[in-house]
Every structure is written in C-alpha cells, then in structure tokens.
Structure 1
Amino acid sequence: MGSASTGRAIGLGILAALAGLMFGLDTGVVAGALPFIATDFHIPARTEEWIVSSMMAGAAFGSLVAGSISARFGRTGAMLGSALLFLAGTAACALAPSPAFLIGGRLVLGLAVGVAAFAAPLYISEITVESARGAMISFYQLMVSFGIFAAFVSDSLLASGGHWRWMLGVMAVPATLFLLGVLFLPHTPRWLMMQGRTERARSVLRMLRTDNDVAESELQEIQARLNQDSHKGFALFRSSGNFRRSVLLGMVLQVMQQLTGINVLMYYAPRVFQAAHFGTSAAVWATTLVGLTNMALTGVAIVFVDRWGRRPLLVLSCLIAAISMAGVGVLLLSGAQSFSTQLALVGFVLLFVAGFAIGEGPLVWTLCSEVQPTRGRDFGIGCSTVTNWAANWLVSNTFLTLMAALGSAHTFLLFALLNGLFIVVTVLFVPETRGVSLETIEARLFAGKRLRDLGQTNAR
C-alpha cells in the first residue's frame, strides 16, 4: 500500500478503522430490532422514526463538537472518548424500560458515532502516504459495511425469538475491542506539529515511514504549510474564500451521499421488501443480502480507488445507483406481486447497494478528508460531518412519512432523479486526488484553482 509506509502505519490505520465497525453495527442493528421494539412497546410508525433518527441527531451534535475535541485532545483522544460513549449508549439501549429511554440511549450512541466518524478518517488520512491514502480511508468504509452486515446477520439469528435487547446489547463486545485498540494509537504528526511538539512528530513519522529522509521531508512540508497562514479553523473560514470553497464542497458531497437513498435501505430495508409483498422472515434475510453486497463491493473500492481514481468510480457509482433506483420504482409501480418481479426488485436493490459501495459510500469520506487544508482540517471536516448527519437525520426521520405520502414507487423514482443529479455535480466540481499529496492539494486550493483541478489537473 505504498512504498513509503511501514507495516506499522497500515496496522494503526486498521485499528483506527474499527471506529467504522462501530458506526456500521449501530447503523445496521436497528433495522432488525425495530419491528420487535414496536411490538413490545406498542408504538406507532412516527415513534419508530424517532427511535431510528435519534442516533443521527446525536451524531450531528457529536460531529459539531468533534472538531474542537479533536483539535484539543488529538484524533486519538477523540476516538477514546467515542469508545467510552459507545459502551454507555449500548448499555442504555439494551436495558431501556421505555421508548423514551431507548431514544436517549440512541442519542448517546449518536454522539459516539459523530465523534468517531469525524476523527477516524482524519486520523487515517494524516498517517498514510498519498499512494495508499484512498485505499486506507476506503478500508474505514469497508469496516462500516462489515458492521452493517454483521448487525443484519446477528439480527437474523436472534429474530426467531424476538430478542431485540440482545440484538442491541451484543454491541458491547466490539465496543470494548475498539476501546482497547484506541489505546495503541499514537497522535498524528500533523496534530503534534500544530501543538508545537516537533520532536514527537518527527519520532512518530519515522515510525510510520520506511525511510528517515522521507519522514524528514514530510515533516518540513507540514511545517511549511503551518507557517504559511496564522489563521485556522473558523478564523480561516471567515478570512479565506478559497477555504470556504473546500468546506462547501465537503458539505455538498455529504448531502449527495445521504440523498442517494442508501440509509433508506440500511434502516428500513425490511419495510421496503414488505411493501413488495415479502413475508417478514423473507424480508429480514433479503436485508442481510443487502448488507453482504454492501460489504463485498466496498472491497472493490479499496482495490481500485488508487488505481482508477476517485472521479471515475464516483461517476460510475452514481450512474448505477440512478438506474437501479429507477428500476425499483418502476417495479413497485407494477405492484411487484409475482415471484419473478420480486426477484427482479431484490436484484435492483442489490445493484443499487453495489453501486453505492464502489463510490458514493467510501469516496465521499476519502475526498472530504483530502480537500481540507491542514489549519482548517478540523473545522472543514467538522462541517461536512455535521452535514452528513443532519441529512441522514432528515432522511431517516421522514422516510416512512414520505413513502406514505408519495407512495413507495414514487419515493424511489425521486431517489433515482437525485442520483442522476449527483453525476453532474461530480463532473463539474469533484477533483481527482489520486496520488496527490495533501500539501499539494492545499497549495492549489489557496492558489485559486478550480475545485475540480485541485488534484490531477489532467484527470478526466
């Protein structure tokens, strides 16, 4: 994964990516547990929406404060705090005596997810050389996908007895593993340099790179970027129109990701399949297929993101998503009552998930961590992460209502239209950052280059 990276750098990146595992587990587990929670507590669909979306609300707030936490305590400190919150939230959900208490537990989990989703990709981007950066950040998304799949499998195995408390409580095991893993993570060289701890940054860089000369050159490059501008964070946002452009790009990318329709399937997949006249058991197992496809195809992104580049994969991803969402909408318009039509619907859903997994899923996080300058990285990624969770909350809090108002078919046709729009956004504004150092991207940003020219200027 890059000749300048040591095995230790890759290992530390994998440990940080366990944050993605927790993200995925807590995202996926609610899909299988929700029908049993609704039955036990006798709650209406609107309360179900709040149980699902409360985690997104917590995550939005968590990502809002994650930038200041990460700037003060480091990316490692932020992940340590999120690990403790994961454990507390898991306990609250598993033992919840009422829907209100469960919503509170989901809020705590959301705080943990919001902080972890901010800090982990940032940590990985700052310890990894440019030749391996795309693959390593995509590995984080693979962990998210694996977590969703593992949660779906766990839900399916526990579904026969309706054991929703066990579904939620078993999350304590990976949360503990994540906590232990974080204890082995050193602070990133860039954060250490921002704290004035140059010697410690040099020591960490030499550990992460195979050659001391490479480490020293990178250290000097980081220092040069830090010396160039005394403004950082919100002050830099106010003073620099160029920085505002990169922040806006990150926010638009995150809105794109959430409006693809992916979390409609992650949170409500059984409901979608039931709308196509699947039985309850068949709907749960079809949902597991969704998780398996998401995980498997994210692996494709890891293999090809640093070979083919970000832009080609993202355009292909949006195209596949648009076609498959349109297919789902058309089949639902037909009634989807015959067995062959139901199989075709499952096929289109899995095709959509595959399309999302090779681009719109992992590459949004990759690009958001790459386009922000060093002094504004905490603030910029914080803005894009808050936007992600705000859009996530909006989708998850309104989907059942939207489906009731528009009908399931027209809801999916709307998502198809949005995915088509995202192709245009990618072509016009997204840069090709494959193989380009973070410092080079930053220099081009502040030189006023067009957003799509921040990386490889000859990229298609």
Structure 2
Amino acid sequence: MNQSVNLNYIAFLSVVAAIGGFLFGYDTAVISGTIIQVSTQFSLDTVSQGWYVGCALVGSIIGVLCGGYLGDRLGRRKALFIAAILFAVSALYCAFAPNFQQLIYARVIGGIGIGVVSIISPMYISELSVPQYRGRLVSLYQLAVTIGFLGAYLVNYVLLNFSLEGGANLQEGWLRWIFHEEVWRGMLGISGIPAIFFFIVLFFIPESPRWLVLRGELSQAETVLTRVYRSKSVAELEVAKIKDVRSSAGQQQNWKLLKEPGVRKAVWIGAAIAILGQFMGVNAVLYYGPTIFESSGLSGGDSLFYQVIVGLVNVLTTILAVFVIDKVGRKRLVYLGVSAMIFFLLLISIYFIWGKEIGLPSAFMLVCFLAYVFSCAISISAVIWVLLSEMYPNNIRGVAMSVAGLSLWVGTYLVGQLTPWLLVNLTPGGTFLLFAVMCVPYMLIVWKLVPETTGKSLEEIERHWIH
C-alpha cells in the first residue's frame, strides 16, 4: 500500500488547503502592528481599541458556526472558495475603509474567513490523506498558520520602515496613501494577494472523496482516490470501506448522530481539549509577548524584533513537528511537550516572583520563554488540528469540528480579554503559574480519554467511537 500512494499529489492538495492556514495566521497576527496607528488616527479609547482587536475573533466564532454546515452541505472545496472570497474582500475593504466603523466590518468579514478555514482546511487534508502520512500532512496546516504569523510580523516591520524611509517618494495617489500616509492600510490590505492566489489554485484540487461518498457520488470518489493510490482496485476498496462504516453508523446526519453515546463523548472530548489548550498560555504569549517582555526588563529592545524571534521559533519547531508527529505519535508528543511546557512556565513564574531577589538575568526569562514556545509548537499546537480533523465520524465531521472550533475560539477570545487583567491582578508570576496549572487537566484528558490515532484510518477511528 505504501508504494502505491501518490504522495506528491496528496502533498500538493495538502499545501493548497494549507494556504488557508497562512491567511488565518497572517490575518490574526497583522493586527499587532496596526493598533497604535489606528488608535491615533481614529482617536480610539481603550474600549474601542479592544473592540478593534477582538472584532475579528467575533467573526471567527461566526465562521466556525457556519463552517461545519457549509462543509457538510456544499462540500469542503466550495467552503474553501467562500473563505478565499471572504479574505480577499476583507483585505480590500480594510485597505480602503473610509472610517473606523467600516474598518470593523472589514475585520469581521476576515474573521469569518478565519473561522471557516480553521474548520475546513485541516478537515479536507485529513480526508484526502492516507494513515501513514496523515499526521504530517495535516500538520502542514499548523505550519502554514505559524508562517502566516511570521509573515505578518515581517510585513509590519518592512512596511513601517518603508513608510518612514522611502514612502515619501511615492507620487500622490492611493499608493502613497496606503503605503506611506496611512501604512496600516497596506499592512491589512496586502493579504489580498495570497487570498486571490488561494482562490485561483482551489480550481486545481478535487472535492474530498469522503464527502463525495457521503453524498452518494461514488464514481467521483473513486476517481479522486485512484489518483491518490495510483490504483483503481485500491480506490474501489477504500470507497467500500467508507461505505461500510457509514452503513454501520446508520444514515443519521449531523445533530441526530450526536445523540449516540460514543459520538457525543468524542465531541465533548474534542471541545474540552480545544478550549483547555487556550488556557495554557499559548495565545497570551503570541498576543501579549511585547508586554510580557517589557515586564521582564527587556524593554530596551525593539518589540517587533522579539515578535519575529518568537515567530521564527514557532515556524522552525512546527517544521520539526511535521516530520516527527507520525513517528512519535500524537499522545506521546503531548506528554513530552506539555511536561516541558509546565517546567518552563514554572521557571518563568519563578523569574517574575523571585528573579530580582536571587539575581536572575533577563536573558534567563527570554530563554525560558522561547523554550516554552518550542514545547508548545511541537506538541499541542501541532497535534490539536490533527486530532480534531481525524477523531470524528464522517457523517458529522463538519458539525463536530464546528463544536470543537467554537470552543477553541471562545477560549481564544476569553484569553485575549482576560490576559491583561491577569497580568495586572495576578502579576506576571501568578499568571504563568496559572497557565502551568491548566496544563494538568489537559494532560489527564489526553491520557485517559483520547485514543491514539497514529497510523489508523479514519474509518478505524470512527469504529472506536461508534462501537
């Protein structure tokens, strides 16, 4: 079976779907470089600043609620087309928004696109992959997200420098307006280029074969799987397996199948690890890194420089995770990575509580900070979308991932809102201690309730929950 797999073709399809992850990462991270400029231009108070940052998260929640339905109703490929259009419209709208209210609308549209791709892209990759490569291929999505983060940091840095040094040489017109006078428009709007590219390349990928089987379009599913396996007989066998599991699950669709005890358990477990993962400090580190660095005594450096370092470590570690996730296994990666996260979170907490008394240098905190990012990127960040994309039955995969995605984005929103309060009221030391404590229930749930899915087909995983 391994020799018959057309890995180049599967990798191409996975990379195309993962472009949605890049847009997700860019659209999420680019906001950090525009807050001061937008706040100054539109005279925003602290509440309006929070709404400017958080409105895209509200859009993301809307997107995950719609994404699963769109994926199940229209197909994974058409849902990705919709997301690409949303990203392109949002980018153009942000670049030319005439006022703050219109800018908010534009960001919400982009947030809906984020929510849709966060569900559909990993689902599509998972459904087209073969068991022995599925982990690393779905991890390409998370890698694309981290590249999007890093890309946003670099674009913010480059465009800001250009606006200060060379932008004044641009002739009067919209280019000077976007890339010099109000450069935040360029930062937000430039994502329209990869969004349009994403829309174009989607024409070159097929629909998910498992969705086609679900809709009764067996001949089209066989055609896709024949290209995947380079064998019509193997493709027919795979279609038969998918049909067999579908029959054993009954013809129930969506919410009705959620009443099944095993399926309901899978959905609750997925939602639990999705929301708990956000309270282990992941997004607090990515969103509020500069503030935390300033608290540690590293304020003399450029905050954008430290953001780039964090983004670079995130990308390089995710690349490593892509190569080891199918060899080490999902659960073992979680055990190793989360254990290391607890260790470094405790060290960071100790630094903030007793660092000055015992003479710890600021570089100690920076090293622990980057080690935490490494531990997180190689474990929960790489594993979460792989697990969510493969642990649900085919009949309800879209709806179930919407439930888990909703939990994840609600957690992200809460962490984004609560972190500033925690840093002030619990102090940075207490905040990182809380993050360390929150790692424990996550580890217990994965240990006791999540099955090891490495090397298993989606149909084998489905049988685990149904029977």
Establish whether TM, by shorter chain, passes 0.5.
Answer: yes
* 8 Å Cα contact 1:20/1:140 also seen in 2: yes
Query: Match of 2:92?
Result: 91
Moved more, 284-293 or 221-230: 221-230
Query: Aligned to 1:9, what secondary structure does the other structure show?
Result: helix
* 8 Å Cα contact 1:63/1:118 also seen in 2: yes
Measure the CA separation in 1 of the matches of 2:98 and 2:82: 26
Query: Post-superposition shift, 1:137?
Result: 0.4
Deviation digits for residues 85-132 of structure 1, max 9, x if unmatched? 001111222333444333322211110011111111110011110110
* 8 Å Cα contact 1:146/1:295 also seen in 2: yes
Measure the CA separation in 2 of the matches of 1:64 and 1:222: 26
Query: Match of 2:317?
Result: 297
Query: Match of 1:445?
Result: 465
Matching of residue 204 in structure 1 with residue 186 in structure 2: no
* 8 Å Cα contact 2:277/2:442 also seen in 1: no
Query: Post-superposition shift, 1:298?
Result: 0.5
Measure the CA separation in 1 of the matches of 2:25 and 2:139: 14
Instruction: Identify the match of residue 333 of structure 1 among 340, 353, 368.
Output: 353
Query: Match of 1:5?
Result: 5
Query: Post-superposition shift, 1:420?
Result: 3.1
Query: Match of 1:59?
Result: 60
Matching of residue 308 in structure 1 with residue 309 in structure 2: no
Query: Match of 1:135?
Result: 136
* 8 Å Cα contact 1:5/1:128 also seen in 2: no
**Runs ≥4 residues deviating over 6 A:** 335-340
Measure the CA separation in 2 of the matches of 1:221 and 1:62: 32
* 8 Å Cα contact 2:76/2:120 also seen in 1: yes
Measure the CA separation in 1 of the matches of 2:438 and 2:227: 45
Instruction: Count matched residues.
Output: 446
Q: Which residue identity does 2:234 align to in structure 1?
A: V
Q: Which residue identity does 1:323 align to in structure 2?
A: F
Could you tell me the percent identity over the aligned residues?
29
Query: Post-superposition shift, 1:280?
Result: 7.0
Query: Match of 1:386?
Result: 406
Q: Which residue identity does 2:137 align to in structure 1?
A: M
Summarize the alignment of residues 80-159 of structure 1 with structure 2, pairs less than 5 Å apart: 80-159=81-160
Deviation digits for residues 39-69 of structure 1, max 9, x if unmatched? 3333344433322222111111111011111
Mark the CA change 1:340 to 1:404 in structure 2 (over 3 Å): closer, same or farther: closer
Measure the CA separation in 1 of the matches of 2:298 and 2:409: 30
Measure the CA separation in 1 of the matches of 2:316 and 2:432: 24
Matching of residue 230 in structure 1 with residue 251 in structure 2: yes
Query: Post-superposition shift, 1:405?
Result: 2.6
Measure the CA separation in 2 of the matches of 1:360 and 1:44: 36
Query: Match of 1:262?
Result: 282
Mark the CA change 1:2 to 1:96 in structure 2 (over 3 Å): closer, same or farther: farther
Mark the CA change 1:277 to 1:103 in structure 2 (over 3 Å): closer, same or farther: farther
Query: Match of 1:219?
Result: 239
Measure the CA separation in 2 of the matches of 1:52 and 1:146: 20
Gaps of 5+ in 1: 448-460
Q: Which residue identity does 1:92 align to in structure 2?
A: Y
Q: Which residue identity does 1:5 align to in structure 2?
A: V
Query: Match of 1:272?
Result: 292
* 8 Å Cα contact 2:23/2:148 also seen in 1: yes
User: TM (normalized to structure 1)?
Assistant: 0.92
Query: Match of 1:354?
Result: 374
Query: Post-superposition shift, 1:339?
Result: 11
Query: Aligned to 1:130, what secondary structure does the other structure show?
Result: coil
Query: Match of 1:17?
Result: 18
Query: Aligned to 1:237, what secondary structure does the other structure show?
Result: helix
Query: Match of 1:452?
Result: none
Moved more, 168-177 or 15-24: 168-177
Measure the CA separation in 2 of the matches of 1:327 and 1:53: 30
Query: Post-superposition shift, 1:394?
Result: 1.2
Q: Which residue identity does 2:295 align to in structure 1?
A: A
Q: Larger Cα Rg: Structure 1 or Structure 2?
A: 2
The CA RMSD over aligned residues, in Å, is 2.1
Mark the CA change 1:4 to 1:261 in structure 2 (over 3 Å): closer, same or farther: farther
